[in-house]
Structure 1
Amino acid sequence: MQVTRHHSERGYWEMAFSPPHSRLGALVDAYIGYDERDTAFTRRHELPGLNAVMIVNLGDPITIVDTTGFVVPVGSGCGFAAGLSDAYAVSESGGCQRGIQVMFTPQGARRFFGLSMSELTNRVFLLPDLLGPAAAARLIESLQAANDWQTCFARLDAIIAARVAAREAVDLAGIRNAGWALRQIAHHNGGISIADLAEEMGCSRKHLAALFREHVGLSPGTVAGLLRFRHALDLFDTAPAKWTDIALAAGYYDQAHFNRDFRRLTGRTPGDYLSSRLQGQIGLPVG
């Protein structure tokens, strides 16, 4: 487990990051515990990526506005989950929040929730609506009773493993095929021909799109676009350069193409992003 802490005029926050137990490696990329206090911002854009998320709110009430504009109030001791999205969502707090976040792989979310990933795309749902009231209450109460981040993460390991084991009727072959295709797109940072990928898998582009709709939630082309965007951010973090050069290196046609994608995915310009981003955090404060 890695723990980072930040204290400045922008507020105090502690972030704890941990991988799951090795048996869950294909289902969960990471657990994140967070504790924010007296932050100078109360609203942020949550940037899209290739993880479905489940969050249990252990602190003050917050509000989530999903990509479709649907508003979801999340009280203390409540939880919610969201599938993949093709644009940013919005989170709002009173300047303080605390909770636990599970970063599911698409195949992990597919197996844990037992739903087509298309049903979760661009949406946020409260946990009782996804898991049932009793299962959601047990999960939340277990995390509320934990005394530290490590205990929370260990309890999540057990809860996720048990629920997935009870749902083995899910289309495992389809999940594996979608996971393999997703890894190929990720390996090329989105710079791969979807037609070539379908041919390598021995299927049509239409079949591949249906596979992604069921087990990922976004089309292969949209996934490639998200990976290209994330690659551009990684390039800037590792070797800062002009945005024009980074855009071309990441596979964008030109600066205008990059700027359109950037504003759609973050709600901000590249310059605004650089001046606003937070140390050790994922979201982008906007107010």
Structure 2
Amino acid sequence: MKLTYFNVDKTSHLVEDFYHIAYSKKIVPLNATIIPLGNTGIAYIYSNGQKISLNNNETVIKNLIINGQFYKSYKFNVSEIGSACGLSFKPTALHKLTGLDISKFSHKYSVFNQIDKILADKFENIFINHNNDFKKLFEKLEKLLLEIPIIENKNTIAIDKVLHTIHLKEGMISVNELLNEIPFGQKTLETLFKKMVGLTPAKYIRIFRFKNLMKQYESNKISLKDLIYMYDYYDESHFAKDFKAFTSKSFKDYFKDEFTLIKKALKKP
């Protein structure tokens, strides 16, 4: 398995990363656990044999798909050699590009063509016509993204400000503290945040804190015990509770092969 990231030069306000992933004969069949990372995204699946499983429901994924926000882990299975490439969005980007209620796509993968055929066709043409030159492919995607009118108003500005604060605090902040950043109350915050991001603020904060801790752990810069206290977990049992909630496993299971893919993603510079 080879996971490659490409530069985000002109669309860093919308895109977290561009990536290509290839599954070789050596790694297939692959059975992986994917933990929530707080991003929506678009991907093109170039091969057969890929599916996800959540709550005992299986979904075959192929061609152009949108992944929504997830609050729990899901199973990812690859049974044939092949590849996929795509992009991960900044939290409000998919809403700004489409005007859609992003919470409607949470906890699942959706066929992009069934959501917005005109826009999906534009993305699909790029993925298909440049699948032998991924650098060119992502340059074309950036050009397309810059051509799409984006929604920017007082509400998107307010939610982006809230997100900036969450990121600045590395997820160590409460919803009540966020209310000091915005000109409206908690109910409106939760409604707008969920519509634009796909999760409630409380769930996003919890995911973001957990993701940052695991990224630090994978970088091997500091011990797990120190990280647990650095990220405001009261003790190791509270961290274990979050780990179980987001991965459906105990921490000792993290060292098994099923977490190989997510470990590669967490090690991204």
2:189 paired residue number: 208
1:250 paired residue number: 231
Aligned in 2, Cα 1:193/1:139: closer, same or farther, shift over 3 Å?
A: closer
Report the Cα distance in structure 1 between the residues aligned to 2:9 and 2:216, rounded to whole angstroms: 30
Aligned in 2, Cα 1:40/1:70: closer, same or farther, shift over 3 Å?
A: closer
1:51 equivalent in alignment to 2:51: no
Tell me, which stretches of 5 or more residues in structure 2 are unaligned? none
1:5 paired residue number: none
Aligned in 2, Cα 1:64/1:191: closer, same or farther, shift over 3 Å?
A: same
Query: Deviation at 1:185?
Result: 0.7
Q: Which of the numbers 48, 68, 71 marks the counterpart of 2:58?
A: 71
1:143 paired residue number: 127
Query: Deviation at 1:131?
Result: 2.1
Relative to the length of structure 1, the TM-score reads 0.82
Q: How does 1:102-141 map to 2 (within 5 A)?
A: 102-132=87-117, 135-141=119-125
Aligned in 2, Cα 1:203/1:114: closer, same or farther, shift over 3 Å?
A: closer
Report the Cα distance in structure 2 between the residues aligned to 1:235 and 1:21, rounded to whole angstroms: 25
Report the Cα distance in structure 2 between the residues aligned to 1:159 and 1:200, rounded to whole angstroms: 33
Query: Deviation at 1:228?
Result: 1.6
> Residue deviations 1:13-35, cap 9 Å, x none?
3322123332x221111100111
1:268 equivalent in alignment to 2:268: no
Which amino acid counterpart does residue 265 of structure 1 have in structure 2? Answer: F
Report the Cα distance in structure 1 between the residues aligned to 2:230 and 2:75, rounded to whole angstroms: 29
Aligned in 2, Cα 1:61/1:127: closer, same or farther, shift over 3 Å?
A: farther
1:238 paired residue number: 220
Aligned in 2, Cα 1:138/1:191: closer, same or farther, shift over 3 Å?
A: closer
CA contact (8 A) 2:162 2:181 kept: no
User: Equivalent pairs: percent with the same residue?
Assistant: 17
Report the Cα distance in structure 1 between the residues aligned to 2:121 and 2:78, rounded to whole angstroms: 23
2:178 paired residue number: 197
Query: Deviation at 1:240?
Result: 4.3
Tell me, which stretches of 5 or more residues in structure 1 are unaligned? 1-12
Query: Deviation at 1:40?
Result: 4.9
> Residue deviations 1:230-278, cap 9 Å, x none?
122133233342x444322211122222112112212322222134343
RMSD (Å), alpha carbons? 2.2
In structure 2, the residue corresponding to 1:281 is in which secondary structure? helix
Report the Cα distance in structure 2 between the residues aligned to 1:173 and 1:69, rounded to whole angstroms: 41
Alignment length, in residue pairs?
261
CA contact (8 A) 2:50 2:80 kept: no
